[in-house]
Amino acid sequence: MKYKHVLALNPYVGRSTDARGLFPPTGLEYIAASMKDLVGKVTILDLRHEKPFQDPRALSAFIRNEIDLLCITAVWQSHFEQVCNLIAQLPPEVTTVVGGYQATLQVEEVFARCPNVDAVVRGEGEEIIKQVVTGVPYEDIRGLSYRRDGRIVHNENQVLPDLTHIAYPDRSLRRHEYYWGQNGRRFSRHTFDTVLTARGCPFKCKFCTFSLNPLGQKREYTERPLESVIEELKTITADFVLFSDDNFATNPRRAEQLCDLIIANNIHKTFVVQARIDIAKHRRLLDKAWQAGFRVFLIGVESPHDRILQQLQKGITQQQIRDAFAVLTQYDFHLHGYFIYGNVGETEEEMLYIPKFAREIGLDSITFQKLRVEKFSPLKDIVDNAPGYYYEEIGGHVFSDRYGPRELKRIRNRIRADFYNVSQLLRIAAKARRNGLLKTQDIAGITLKLPAILHALLERRAEKRKKKAARAGRPVERERPQLSHRAPEKVRD
């Protein structure tokens, strides 16, 4: 056995992953599961929950004393520099392999910033790490970049592995539970986990690169055997489970079968899924999903405007969106919609229609993100050829001469205030009580935390105003807190 003790390290700390701090490091856990039977021992450290090891000196001492292979994930563009700085401080004598989405995008940067990194796994790493730990020579491992004689060697890309033979995460390797929350705050006592039942997506939306890996390889839609999915669900103790498939209803018949198996096996969870509006066409699936415990649908709407939807090649129209939600709102699912603003040619008036449209179709909550371009996104050509539009880096947000960072931030704040007014918050709470998402103990906990949360928000807001006033050389005026610039609307049934 080549390696006796492998450390799988999630290097993100504290608030560095924002809302993503909610998620277990599932990609890293897939890597750990793939090699656990090929090495003596695997330890997973998630630094978000490991305060003693957030000090690089303590982490380095542990690695020197215990570890002979270090596997690190670099997933996010945000805080990439901080992650590289941490990696560079770890013991150079221990073999170090880095993988993950951002590491694949910036493989040369990883090697340049981290002289102690021996190899970078590009793309999906489950099969690659098996070859690394079993001693296959680096030059024979497709999808691997590595150092040799003072230079960086990039082997040819790997053939994407068969999803059927990939081991699912072993939750017994976890040292912590994960909860609904953000920035270190728990929203409730519900534990949270994720399951992947399929990879890839058959659709071709221009803004989306989910069906491409960081190398631009098309990951065709591939399904796991449902028996394996059920086996994995039986190992999960969490209350909430997110199916992280790009689209839960890509294969409606299979989705129905999954619901049937969940019911037949008495698996009692609250499930969250991502879906397209097409799911509204399948009433039998919606009925079974409700019976099986599905309560939250995360739906990509993207835009209320046909012109923008066509530009994004979303394949739907505004009227089709309205028709779909006319069906979906007949259930008590919590409906969350994703929107993109700052699209090419989009006016401020069109962007500010997002919250009004979201309420019209019955969305309970929304997320709205600035347009961004990825390396292999077809949208990149549109932005590159649009006069007055620019982005600072691949993967970054798109701005224009008319709508720069400051203007888009102002528009973002107006969208948020217009949608999340008092009546909408009451509507969310009422539905959460009906569908079981919000329990009595959660309401009590949230109520107790509200004064402290509000105080922290107001303190942060006041501090920002002080700094802004100091830079401008003017006195600070007292600001009265305001929840929304809109009058509360009548709560809908």
What's the confidence (pLDDT) of residue 186?
60
**Lowest mean pLDDT: which of 80-94, 161-175, 301-315?**
161-175
Overall pTM > 0.85? no
**Residue 403, both tokens:** 């709508």
Q: Write down the pLDDT at residue 474.
A: 60
- The span from the CA of 228 to the CA of 235, in Å, is 11
Band of pLDDT at residue 459, cut at 50, 70 and 90: low
Residue 182, pLDDT > 70, answer no
Would you say residue 374 has pLDDT above 90? no
Report the range of poorest mean pLDDT among 273-277, 428-432, 467-471: 467-471
> Under a CB-based contact definition with an 8 Å cutoff, are residues 169 and 216 in contact?
no
Strand pairing class (334-341; 144-148): unpaired
pLDDT at 263: 98
Cα–Cα dist 114/111, whole Å: 5
Condensed to tens digits (0 to 9), the pLDDT of residues 354-365 reads: 999 999 999 999
**Mean pLDDT of the 245-264 span:** 95
Q: How many residues does the chain have?
A: 493
Residue 476 clears pLDDT 80, i.e. is over it: no
Position 278, amino acid: D
Backbone region of residue 143 per phi and psi (left: phi > 0; alpha: psi in -120 to 50; beta: other values): left
Greater confidence (19 vs 149) lies with 149
Q: Give CA separation, 408 vs 112, 332, 399, in Å.
A: 34, 33, 8
Query: 389: which residues sit within 8 A by CB, 6+ positions away?
Result: 344, 383, 398, 399, 400
Whole-number Å distance between alpha carbons of 425 and 430: 9
Assess whether pLDDT exceeds 60 at residue 475.
no
Domains with residue ranges and CATH for the chain: 5-163 (3.40.50.2300), 177-443 (3.20.20.70)
What's residue 160's pLDDT?
75
Per mean pLDDT, which of 160-164, 247-251, 287-291 is the most reliable?
A: 287-291
For residues 447-452, average pLDDT: 46
Average pLDDT over residues 252-281: 96
211 with 219: CB under 8 angstroms? yes
What is the predicted pLDDT for the residue at 159? 81
pLDDT value at 446 more than 80: no
d(CA 366, CA 189): 23
Torsion of CA 363, 366, 370, 373, to 10 degrees: -80
- Could you give the CA distance from residue 478 to residue 481 in angstroms, rounded to a whole number? 10
Bridge partner residues of 145 (DSSP): 120, 154
pLDDT tens column, 390-430: 998 877 899 999 999 999 999 999 999 999 999 999 999 99
Cα end-to-end span (Å), the chain:
63
Mean of all residue pLDDT scores within the chain: 85
